[in-house]
Amino acid sequence: MDTNINFHTAWDNWDAWSAEMAPYWSEDMVYDFGFVGDWFASPMQGLRSWFDGEHMHYNVALPDCQFTDFIRAATDQQCTSASYGIARWEAPFAGVPPPAGKPWVRVRDLDFYQMDGDRIKTNWCIIDVVDMFQQAGYQLLPPAPMATDGYLPPNAMDGAPAPLSAAVDPRDTRASERVWRAALHEDYALRQDEARWWAEDVVWYGPAGVGTAHSREEYRKHFLEPLHAAFSDLTMRMDMVVCEGKYCGAHFYLHGRHTGTWLGEAATYRHVPIRFGAHARIEGGRIVQGWLIIDIPRAFHAMGIDLFARARLLAAK
């Protein structure tokens, strides 16, 4: 299925494209993309809705986007991937036009898949839209507290994408899942700032507005503590946790009241859903690498802030 997407097989021909894609998806499949305002509605149900929605819109804006998966972890009924796509930004994305030079951009992307037998039932997908805009010069947020190193592959010989399933030790899978579930519970559900499951020299590729941490202390100081300080009455809704070998992923929401400054925005006291897609590489009982994308436009929309309108103003200058 991903090969057909990367080859852009009959991408703008519904009859041919649907014939290629139908064998992989349940008839009532759901494709849940990140928030893009009024560009198209999400989630989408059924192949036609996806084709007319995210698929056509994305491929017109970023034609022939070539994706490289660097993590792909799976069980028999669940799967996750972390990837980046490379493309020229050639047409408006969520109503935001590209700069005149139509720059090349690197699109941070992740997916989570829930199977129904041998077909995909649900696909959660998030890209880091704010990071893509900022690559093009549209600075929507204040300067990040840490520089960004991008969204780099694992620093390990575990396969490409990692892990190579045939080489996975099931004991590693069980051990990794214990660590990963504990870290998610403490860092998000319990709002603890200690980050005790993270290695001291962890490298964590954070989202736009935060940057890349090169230590447990930087992860705590520049991500966990500001998040916990900005939102009260937090609850967590987990959609999926999946691990294979030393690699894990999670797709989840935090819901809370925005009672402090976050990513430059003062408290609005509104109820805000924050959508997360996270991945980790775990060695020796500690997270040694991490990757995170947040659906920042969705959270800001709930705060009463239209990041796409902000980007359009910058594009018009």
273-284: average pLDDT = 98
pLDDT at 35 exceeding the cut of 60: yes
pLDDT at 67 over 60: yes
Provide the whole-model pTM.
0.97
- Can you give the pLDDT at residue 2? 66
Cα 276 to chain centroid distance, Å, stands at 7
* Mean pLDDT, range 88-108, rounded to an integer: 98
Nearest to 301 by CA among 78, 98, 50, 129: 129
Of 189, 166, 163, 190, the C-alpha closest to 282 is 163
Q: What is the pLDDT of residue 6?
A: 62
Confidence bin at 4 (pLDDT 50/70/90): low
pLDDT digit string (tens) for 116-161?
999 999 999 999 999 999 999 999 999 999 999 999 999 999 999 9
More confident residue, 10 or 91: 91
Query: pLDDT tens across 175-210, in order?
Result: 999 999 999 999 999 999 999 999 999 999 999 999
| Interval 76-91 mean pLDDT | 98
pLDDT in tens, 295-312: 999 999 999 999 999 999
Report yes or no: 250 and 185 within 8 Å, Cβ to Cβ: no
Please check the confidence at residue 22 and state whether its pLDDT lies above 70.
yes
pLDDT band at 3 (very low <50, low <70, confident <90, very high): low
Q: What is the mean pLDDT of residues 253-278?
A: 98
The pLDDT of residue 1 is 63
For the chain, domains (ranges, CATH) are 2-135 (3.10.450.50), 165-316 (3.10.450.50)
Distance CA 145, CA 263 (A): 10
- 152-183 pLDDT, tens per residue? 999 999 999 999 999 999 999 999 999 999 99
* pLDDT tens digits along 224-259: 999 999 999 999 999 999 999 999 999 999 999 999
Sequence-distant (≥ 6) Cβ neighbours of residue 146 within 8 angstroms: 206, 210, 211, 212, 213, 218, 222
Closest of 250, 256, 249, 282 to residue 271, by C-alpha: 256
